[in-house]
Amino acid sequence: MIGKRITSATPYIIVFLFFIAYSLLSVIRHLHFGSFGFDLGIVDQIVWKYSEFKAPITTVQFYPYTSLLTDHVELIYVILSPFYWLFSSPITLLLIQAGLIAISGIPIFWLAKRKGINQILSLVIMIAYLSFYGIQNAIWFDVHSNVFAAAFLSWFIYFLDKNNKIGTFIFFILAIFSKENIALLTLLIACVYFVKEKLRVVSLPSLIIVLSITYLAGIFLVYFPHFTQDGYRYANEGGIISDVQLSYLYNLEEKRQVYLYSLGWFSFLPILSPLLLLPAAGDIFQYFVLGNNIDGAHGLYMHYRASLALLLVWPMIMTIQRYKILNNKYFAVYLLVVVSILQYILHVPLTYLTKSWFWIEPESSVSVRKVIEHLPDSASVVAQNNLTPHLSQRDEIFTLWPEKRMADKNIVCESDRCQWFRWAGNPKYLIIDTAGSWDTRHLLENRDEFLKGLDNLEKNGYIKVVYKDKTAILYVIVKHPQQ
């Protein structure tokens, strides 16, 4: 009896352990000032504003004083905002994201069991899903709406497979509310089940198809073109489908690596269920072809590959159901070994938990916290990228953008083109940290140029030191750098 209880509890214990691991990864990184204004600072400011019943106007991002809804349609943040009534902090978002991803392993386990896969292999499949490199990199890289969507889609597929109407619709709504492009995935997933059900016109999949198409049409044909100033900002210059070239699917080495490591993670078994690969192909197509101009969306890192975990583990489960010879503990061991080897090769974030550097707080973090204590609670402020998420719950928090400026008779600097800065609005304070532990991801410039820019602002009387602790400095802004 005890052994049976332990066995039945095992998947939930594994889910809990992944939640702890992913929470530690994201929260400790944030507390050590490793998170970024792009995107955690943006999202934190927006969710805080929703919780305060304010319009979702962001001042952090590249387009300051604009509604986040003109950039992405991410209604999920409205749904999550009441959690800020309990604990108003970006840590809340990091924990929710880790929790939803971890819990999304449960429907994967249930689906595998539902398809007749043995207990041990079902557990290993769930581990392979939860440890997928795309999920690990997404958890490491702050908070993103497509990660919430990936978690909801796992439940959506499970309930759709069971023909459970209530569960399907709940997670369909949560998924498409997460980000504007997710309805493409619900559409393709429903198309798979529509074909599997022999094209029954009156069915749950057919209804999801209609709703997905309607939502996509409303977002991309009505909302973005007619209700936003710039249209869809992530479209190609001539429109979303203006530059469709199939060569974009494989024209870069980083794209080819995505195929290799994504399919390899699941032992290339998804290839044996080509129909079920349709949603994964659609996911790749939207980032590699339609989003060919978005360089960061093409590789193994950041948050863009999170959805592939679900879209590949699902066809793998169906393949194992079809080929019974794979449904055994030996294949479970093989799959676990493959995942472990790829973990080592890619050096993905879960391995950081074993590194001493991850647990050691940068010395400069203590100084930054001291400086932040001298900043008035609601004062307007401009900050470097990795300090923004710690200051974002205020109406005016701006990103510090390094740039060049031509020298003139009013500006003293090192050359004809001065290292300089720009920011939006009229913040009262500037807060920075010049520690050597930060790089271009944190400073948006190499450290030497960053320091030159600060020196130029200071010696030309644009900023004045208010408080300093080692490398962390709080300035009062005397005049705007564009004046």
DSSP 38: I
Supply the angle between the helices 182-196 and 165-178 in degrees, to the nearest 10. Answer: 150
> How far is the C-alpha of 136 from the C-alpha of 199, rounded, in Å?
37
Which tens digit of pLDDT belongs to each residue from 91-145?
A: 999 999 999 999 999 999 999 999 999 999 999 999 999 999 999 999 999 999 9
The Cα 361–Cα 370 span in angstroms is 15
Contact 480, 461 (CB under 8 A): no
The C-alpha atoms of residue 374 and residue 199 are separated, in whole angstroms, by 65
Q: What is the CA radius of gyration of the chain?
A: 24
pLDDT tier for residue 6 given thresholds of 50, 70 and 90: low
Say yes or no to pLDDT of 157 above 90.
yes
Between helices 133-140 and 306-322, what is the axis angle to 10°? 160
Q: CB atoms < 10 A from the CB of 424, how many? A: 19
What is the rounded distance in angstroms from the CA atom of residue 483 to the CA atom of residue 438? 29
Of 44 and 295, the one with more pLDDT? 44
**Token digits for 376?**
């008035």
> Is the pLDDT reported for residue 2 higher than 70?
no
- Residue 236's beta-bridge partner residues? 239
pTM: 0.95
Closest residue by Cα to residue 98 from 41, 29, 48: 29
pLDDT digits (tens, 9 = 90+) for 303-347: 999 999 999 999 999 999 999 999 999 999 999 999 999 999 999
3-state class (DSSP) for residue 30: helix
What's the pLDDT tens digit per position in 30-85? Answer: 999 999 998 899 999 999 999 999 999 999 998 899 999 999 999 999 999 999 99
Contacts of 277 (CB under 8 A, 6+ apart): 270, 271, 311, 315
Is residue 136 within 8 Å of residue 348, measured between CB atoms?
A: yes
- Please give the structure tokens belonging to residue 457: 């602002």
In the predicted model, is pLDDT for residue 483 greater than 90?
Answer: no
Q: Rounded to whole angstroms, how far apart are CA atoms 170 and 155?
A: 9
Single-letter code of the amino acid located at 86: L
Binned at pLDDT 50, 70 and 90, residue 201 comes out as confident
- Cα–Cα distance measured from residue 420 to residue 406, given in angstroms and rounded to the nearest whole number: 9
Residue 346 three-state SS: helix
Query: Are the beta carbons of 319 and 273 closer than 8 angstroms?
Result: yes
> Pick from 120, 182, 148: which is nearest to 330 by CA?
120
For 221-239, the pLDDT digits (tens) are 999 999 998 889 888 877 8
